[in-house]
Structure 1
Amino acid sequence: MKVMYQEKHIRSQDGLRIYLRDYNKYNVNNIPIICLPGLTRNSKDFHNFAKIFCGSRRVISIDMRGRGKSDYDNETKNYWKPDIYMADIFSVTSSLNIHKGIYLGTSLGGLMAMQVALIRPSSVSGIILNDIGPDLPVKGVMAIHKNLSKNLEFNNWNEAKAFYENKYKSHHPNFSSEQWLDQTKNTYIEKNNLIISDYDIRILSEAVNTSQSSNLWQLFKAIKKIPTVCLRGELSDILIESTFNKMKLEKEDLIQLTVKDCGHNPQLDEPEVVSKLEFFFSLIDKS
């Protein structure tokens, strides 16, 4: 069954157009989910998740500036300013008249979700952290930068898929050929008869200039009273096991799930993830 969604562009506070997908916009019975993607990722990553859950609630997935169908920013430093991302997110929720939501964030998106909770705690009913925590291992972060900072071009989708599968096979050893093609098409776009990255490559140029001194554990404390699920890929080099365990010590009511045979990051449509999130949503809807 084909799942329909509305495509929209919202003007940000500085005039850039922010793209989003709006699934089941007329469902107002349950609290909506706002999906925030990873560093260079986009709204396409949440399509399979939305197909599963949009039958019971509204699902919004956003292309942050410089990604997917959103405008690129001429000021590349803005890609590393949390307040810019917050303003973009609030522009979206305000335009859609969403005053309270469940925030689902993958990787960088999870840090954004916690930042929303810090600034506007009353607007957050729950948080789902997808393979992200308050400690970022240098090795894992550097691997991401190395893999994403090159301006790649491919002649066709098969060529792009072969490259992508070879690069990330260790993260998802059990992916099918169809899943690899889906992931490839979530990552790249066809333009001028070439397959290229679906994000502004300059995002990574600012990464080396960004301070890593911010205390993410202080940010994690902002969600202490907010119902939260944390998902971790068993093979992840971004959310390592020791950090995962420490998060539970800091937040005793944290709901956790480790997805086996999975690296960075869980795809959100795994049966065990769906079951855990259905339970989580039922708790929030009852509260």
Structure 2
Amino acid sequence: MSSAEGFSDFFYAAPDGLRLHARIYGEANSGHWPVVCLPGLTRNARDFHDLALYLSQRADTARQVVAFDYRGRAMSAYDPEIAHYNVGVEAGDVLAGLAALGIDHAAFIGTSRGGLIIHVLGALKPAALKAIVLNDIGPAIEAEGLANIRSYLERSLKPKTFHEALDAQRRTHGDDFPALSHADWARMVGAIHRKTDAGLIPDFDPALVDTLAGVDFSKPLPDLWPQFDALAATPLLAIRGGKSKLLSAATLEDMQKRHPGMDTITVSGQGHAPFLETGDLPQRIAEFIDKANARH
């Protein structure tokens, strides 16, 4: 346990034997659901650090929080088979991690790809999902947004120092995130890089970028509306960045129509995907989960 940082490292075996990692914040509490945090395509458990501390240390409703590193990200092993970097395999990895931890149900928070994994989990093990927070993701994604992600990953710079990395992130994403402070950008840079003798490098398997190479953005992207409709009875909070290119306002409206009980938050001055530790988002997420837990 790294008491100074507020979490412990947990390693477990994927169904195919790959060594995977998650961070565990707080202690199991029989009165309160645990929270499972699932990051974006090339992101990792560090994205949720501040939110996880908040959720795990609240005086009245402290919850255990589990934040996963998918295979090929951060402290999880890289997979030599690129085809295994897909939402279905990663959903199976999450279920294996939860089984290893003895967690049979939880509130789930999914950013981008993490939200797609939640849709798959709803089909594989619906009883596990007690409440859902989707961060800038829905059952339909905009081709423009996915193309933008592929573009900046393919042309990503190779900064040697923290300050170079911070400047690169601001130049790449600044127009989409005018609301962020210097401290916000610094946390982002720390979350997505690791230090090596050659300088900072992105903390994910470079082969992940290749998984987007074959996407034809001139054709409609597959959607997950049937899987989303199956979540109609599950308490749901959908967060959208006001400047998001991946989750459109029209899709958010359609989600609301199909899930009338869904709560929504639009985050001004942020794009894809909003930083969940900023503004009043931690409090609003906690209150949403508390309310769902109390109703249950």
Residue equivalent to 1:261: 269
Instruction: Point out where structure 2 has 5 or more consecutive residues left out of the alignment.
Output: none
Say whether the 8 Å CA contact 1:235–1:263 is kept in structure 2.
yes
> Which residue identity does 2:190 align to in structure 1?
K
8 A Cα contact 2:180 2:270, kept in partner: no
User: What's the counterpart of residue 75 of structure 1?
Assistant: 81
Q: 2:192 matched to which residue of 1?
A: 187
1:274 aligns with one of 267, 278, 282: 282
Residues 256 and 169 (structure 1 numbering): CA distance in 2 closer, same or farther, change over 3 Å?
same
Q: Which amino acid aligns with 1:15?
A: G
Q: Is the 8 A contact 1:13 1:87 kept in 2?
A: yes
Aligned length: 286
Q: Is the 1:150–1:201 contact (alpha carbons within 8 Å) kept by the matching residues of 2?
A: no
Name the TM-score, length of structure 2 as normaliser: 0.92
State the 1:151 CA deviation: 6.1
Moved more, 68-77 or 263-272: 263-272
Task: Give the aligned partner of residue 101 of structure 1.
Answer: 106
Aligned equivalents of 2:279, 2:186: Cα separation in 1:
20
Hey, what's the Cα distance between the residues in 2 that align with 1:92 and 1:216? 24
With over 3 angstroms needed to count, the CA separation of the structure-2 counterparts of 1:41 and 1:96, relative to structure 1, is same
Instruction: Please tell me whether the aligned partners of residues 240 and 273 of structure 2 are also in contact (alpha carbons under 8 angstroms).
Output: yes
Report sequence identity in percent.
Answer: 27
Q: In structure 2, what residue type is equivalent to 1:222?
A: A
The Cα RMSD (Å) is 1.7
Q: Deviations over 1:153-196 (max 9, x none)?
A: 22211111111111111122122222211111111111123111
Moved more, 230-239 or 199-208: 199-208
Query: Is residue 256 of structure 2 the alignment partner of residue 222 of structure 1?
Result: no
| Counterpart selection for 2:125 from 111, 120, 125 | 120
| Counterpart AA for 1:184 | V
Deviation at 1:37, TM superposition (A): 0.3
Query: Is 1:164 matched with 2:166?
Result: no
1:210 Cα deviation from its structure 2 partner:
5.3
Determine helix, strand or coil for the equivalent of 1:54: helix
Of the structure 1 ranges 168-177 and 223-232, higher mean CA displacement relative to structure 2 is found in 168-177
Alpha-carbon distance in 2 for matches of 1:243, 1:157: 37
Please state how far the C-alpha of 1:150 moved relative to its aligned partner. Answer: 4.1
* Deviation, structure 1 residue 206: 2.0
Q: What does residue 17 of structure 1 align with?
A: 19
Structure 1 distance, partners of 2:83, 2:260, is: 37
Give the 3-state SS of the residue equivalent to 2:213 in structure 1: helix
Q: In the alignment, is the contact (CA less than 8 A) between 1:149 and 1:201 conserved in 2? A: no
Change (3 A) 1:165 1:216: same
